[in-house]
Amino acid sequence: MQGQGVVKGYAIGRVAIMSAAALEVAHYRIAPEDVQTECERLKNALSTASVELQAMAGALPDDAPRELGPLLTVHSLLLEDPMLFQQTCELILTRHYNAEWALTTQGQLLAEQFAIMEDEYLRERSADIRQVIERVLRVLSGSTALLPEIEAGDSSDPLIVVARDISPADMLRLRGARFAGFLTDLGGPTSHTAIVARSMNVPAVVGLGHIRMLVRDGDTLIADGFTGAVLINPSPLVLQEYRRRQAVYASERAELALLRDAPAITLDGIQIKLEANIELPEEAVAAMQAGADGIGLFRSEFLFMGRRDLPTEDEQYEAYSSVVKTMAGRPVTIRTLDLGADKTLDGDVTVATNPALGLRAIRYCLANPEIFATQLRALLRASVHGHVRILIPMISHMHEVHATRLAIDAACRDLDASGVPYERNISLGAMVEIPAMAIAIEPFAETLDFLSIGTNDLIQYTLAIDRGDSEVADLYDPMHPAVLRLIAHTINAAERAGIPVAVCGEIAGDSRVTRMLLGLGLKEFSMHPQQLLDVKKEVRQAHSNALRVKVASALNRAERIDLEALSG
């Protein structure tokens, strides 16, 4: 079967099917004289389930993912909604349904109402409704077992949980035991199953459709968290092959983990900085765990997305400070709001003729001075807790840099006026992601404190390929000599001006091109925390100066660089 792999790794084990109470409840009508008692039974079950959820939210283990607490609270609030009780009770009183039947009927109705809502956030709540209803059904049935007791037999294979969906509360219960993997019929990469499985580092495949109906307890399964493939009762030969892959992957991970505290130095002694890209404050923890030298890109726009109002100055200050504190003195590069194109505010209905070339990023901020000033004040305030650097996206003109400096000066004056402390010599840098800036980079390199090359956009604008359009995805080519010349030109100009320059686009985390980037003279890479150790491994095996000679000669001739020829 094919699903979506959401946590990497290979799981090999035996099926343990998680009960889906909603699929198994008995439907029967009750005698008219018993309807009141049945309503009472329902009321008690709702309140027991709600109390259980609150208790769980209040006693979360320290290592539980942060999302769990709020999710459990939302679930208990759903159960306390008087409408849920009244309307379900109505079905018992008028149609004489038993409580389980009434509850599944009402739950289905509610889930359907949510499922057709326009707002994506509300649409996603239909999964929550289904999950809380399941929980009450379990209370009504008096059974608390989530998983069957599987005969140990002569097999010591670990168990793979197979479920229709796994609620946050169920996940919490499953955390205690060791499972080899999680497979669900429903869900996507941001589902609860995915979030919790990731925090437990257990391979997971979601969106499998109907695996729960197709397997039985004790069946042997292989789940490939890389490709999303699931093999049911595979032949001994296939099993042997996957056990081999599993062992290779485990030893690769173990070897990489040893690199966490090893320095990122090339064979010829060049020190390389490896930093992390993050989108939410809590991801700073993963950056520290991976041994990052700092945050090279904090995409602050994610604090603004998926909500109806703008985050306040205090809210932003809290978010930035928490990252700065977590990074304990290491540099934290916070990019000012990069909205527009593929990232928009909820409820923003303006449709630009061509959003990628429209009022996005710094253009948007300069056109909305209040929003910009609020963010700058929050950034400056956070700077007292460590080392903050401000990064401006989508710069193409020098006057945008000057306007940004003026905005920062104004924010400083605001803070001075109210006696709020901040770091006076905060570094200001810009993303190099528009070809015009890369071509005419010199004055920028002389004016700014640092540069960061955003190859994701630089490639899109250089090659005229929409980065989100699958029709032209095959032409989106990071190795195009024109793109590499722009990167090389930017790195050389920064070197001459004596300022640091990083690459923070996706190619910085692709270990297949690490040597090529070293050959371009790059000394700072910023990437997803999970990619850091793979890149470090490449760095430590590379000879930077030899690579520079090879890459320069290919670029002079505008030839494609042969990655194979750079390795070894």
Q: Which residues are catalytic?
A: 192, 504
Which has the closest alpha carbon to 451: 469, 437, 436?
A: 437
Query: For residues 490 and 451, is the Cβ–Cβ distance under 8 A?
Result: yes
Asked whether position 437 contacts ligand PEP by CB under 6 A, the answer is no
Per-residue binder mask for ligand PEP (CB under 6 A), 330-359, x = binder = --------x---------------------
Query: For residues 356 and 298, is the Cβ–Cβ distance under 8 A?
Result: no
Per-residue binder mask for Mg ion (CB under 5 A), 376-415, x = binder = ----------------------------------------
DSSP character for 386? S
Question: Which residue among 5, 281, 505, 519 contacts ligand PEP (CB under 6 A)?
Answer: 505
CB nearer Mg ion, residue 330 or residue 335: 335
C-beta of 499: minimal distance to Mg ion in Å? 20
Asked whether position 454 contacts Mg ion by CB under 5 A, the answer is yes
Question: Contact region for ligand PEP (CB under 6 A) — 85-93, 305-313, 405-413, 451-459?
Answer: 451-459
- Parallel, antiparallel or unpaired: strands 501-503 and 524-527: parallel
CB nearer ligand PEP, residue 272 or residue 483: 483
C-beta of 203: minimal distance to ligand PEP in Å? 27
d(CA 432, CA 415): 30
Secondary structure of residue 388 in the 3-state scheme? strand
Residue whose token pair is 């710069």: 395
Question: Which residue among 48, 73, 396, 456 contacts ligand PEP (CB under 6 A)?
Answer: 456
Among Mg ion, ligand PEP, none, what binds residue 511 when CB lies within 5 to 8 Å by partner kind? none
Among ligand PEP, Mg ion, none, what binds residue 544 when CB lies within 5 to 8 Å by partner kind? none
DSSP character for 343? B
Torsion sign (Cα): 263, 268, 270, 272: negative
d(CA 102, CA 521): 68
d(CA 350, CA 346): 11
C-beta of 444: minimal distance to Mg ion in Å? 16
* Strand partners for 389: 333, 427
Question: Which residue among 301, 457, 534, 538 contacts Mg ion (CB under 5 A)?
Answer: 457
DSSP character for 310? P
Question: Contact region for Mg ion (CB under 5 A) — 215-223, 308-316, 451-459, 560-568?
Answer: 451-459
Query: For residues 8 and 204, is the Cβ–Cβ distance under 8 A?
Result: no
DSSP assignment string, 349-370: ----SSGGGSS-HHHHHHHSHH
C-beta of 396: minimal distance to Mg ion in Å? 13
CB nearer ligand PEP, residue 131 or residue 336: 336
Per-residue binder mask for ligand PEP (CB under 6 A), 239-278, x = binder = ----------------------------------------
d(CA 207, CA 188): 6
CA distances from 4 to 20, 186, 227, 233, 273 (A): 21, 10, 7, 20, 33
- Parallel, antiparallel or unpaired: strands 230-232 and 220-224: antiparallel
C-beta of 190: minimal distance to ligand PEP in Å? 18
Per-residue binder mask for ligand PEP (CB under 6 A), 281-320, x = binder = ----------------x-x---------------------
* Strand partners for 391: 335, 429
CB nearer ligand PEP, residue 299 or residue 385: 299
Which has the closest alpha carbon to 203: 190, 218, 222, 176?
A: 222
CB nearer ligand PEP, residue 46 or residue 362: 362
CB nearer ligand PEP, residue 181 or residue 454: 454
* Interface with ligand PEP (CB under 6 A): 297, 299, 338, 433, 454-457, 504-505
Binding residues vs Mg ion (CB under 5 A): 433, 454, 457
